[in-house]
Structure 1
Amino acid sequence: MNTRGLRSQLKDSVPVAGLCPQGTYGVQDTLRGGFTSVKNELLPSHPLELSEKNFKLNQEKMNLSTLRNIQGLHAPLKLQMEYRAARQIQRLPFLQSSNLAVDTLQGSDEYIGFEDILNDPAQSEMMGEPHIMVEYKLGLL
């Protein structure tokens, strides 16, 4: 299916008054319609693009449904409760957290990925006064 052809058909349609983001002279009316974003107007260039964006979520759903079919309803519920508990564990606001418990539960601790190389806390630019950061997080400032 050619999505670009569909896009050209939409541009040739008759605009409805009040719904058209362009003004009377064919120029974007920024005051009434806001800023335009080209990223929001783009359609997927390939049919598999949407599937690839949601790959990790789809894989997690498939793993939970397989686990439910094999071990019963309690297994995915227990695993989801463990995920939630592991995500709530955090360090102080001025320290980087490795989220090792979440990585272990997901099984991603065995693989070296893009974020492992470029997410080095030693190269982080986020360093501030510890007392101020904790007070801000607690709402004391």
Structure 2
Amino acid sequence: MAANMDVSGCTEVSLDKKNYGVPDFMAEGPTGVKSGIVSSHPLEKSEKNFWKNQQEQEFANLRKLQGLHAPLRLMMERSIVTQSESPSVFPSSNALADALSGRDSIIGFEDILNVPENSEMMGNAHAMYERKMGIF
């Protein structure tokens, strides 16, 4: 929405003619406020990068013990598993990726709360697939 000020003090507001200035939640989803918020605790950044730091440490140890081939093989296996072959709009469990990274034996906060599979909301699967493929 753009506003222009006249000399007389009147304000002209231009609206999007398609949606009249209202966001389209069905196609775009709700807007997130969380992305604009700065971290609230100094350890939050460390916790977000915990798995990445642990994998780097694991790869460094493997490189020292077994040579360069071991971390390269693990990285290749993980990249193959995480590639999405099926263009599904439904979330996948990534059980094999969890087994390769060691996350399958650990129960964390993300395993219990805020899981997309347990969400009560479900959108139109056809519209979600068209949006994912860039058709919409």
- TM-score normalised by structure 1 residue count: 0.57
The residue that corresponds to 1:107 in the other structure is 102
TM-score by length of 2: 0.59
CA drift of 1:55 comes to 3.4
Q: Which has the higher helix share?
A: 1
The ranges of structure 1 where at least 4 consecutive aligned residues each deviate by more than 3 angstroms after the TM superposition are: 37-40, 48-55
Taking the aligned partners of 1:116 and 1:131, their CA distance within structure 2 comes to 28
Rounded Cα–Cα distance in structure 2 between residues aligned with 1:76 and 1:65: 8
Unaligned runs of 5+ in 2: 1-35
> What is the RMSD computed on CA atoms of the aligned residues?
2.8
Give the whole-Å Cα distance in 2 for the aligned partners of 1:50 and 1:135. Answer: 35
- What CA distance in whole angstroms lies between the structure 2 residues aligned with 1:90 and 1:98? 14
* Greater strand proportion: 2
Structure 1: gaps (5+ residues): 1-36
| Distance in 2 (alpha carbons) for counterparts of 1:109 and 1:74 | 24
Aligned-residue offset at 1:56: 2.8
Instruction: Write the deviation string for residues 43-62 of structure 1: whole angstroms up to 9, x where unpaired.
Output: x76xx776555433222111
Counting aligned pairs with the same residue, the percent is 43
- Note the C-alpha offset of 1:38: 8.0
Equivalence for 2:65 = 70
Residue 92 of structure 2 corresponds to: 97
The offset of 1:123, in angstroms, is 2.9
Structure 1 pair 136–53 and aligned structure 2 pair: CA distance change class (3 A) = closer
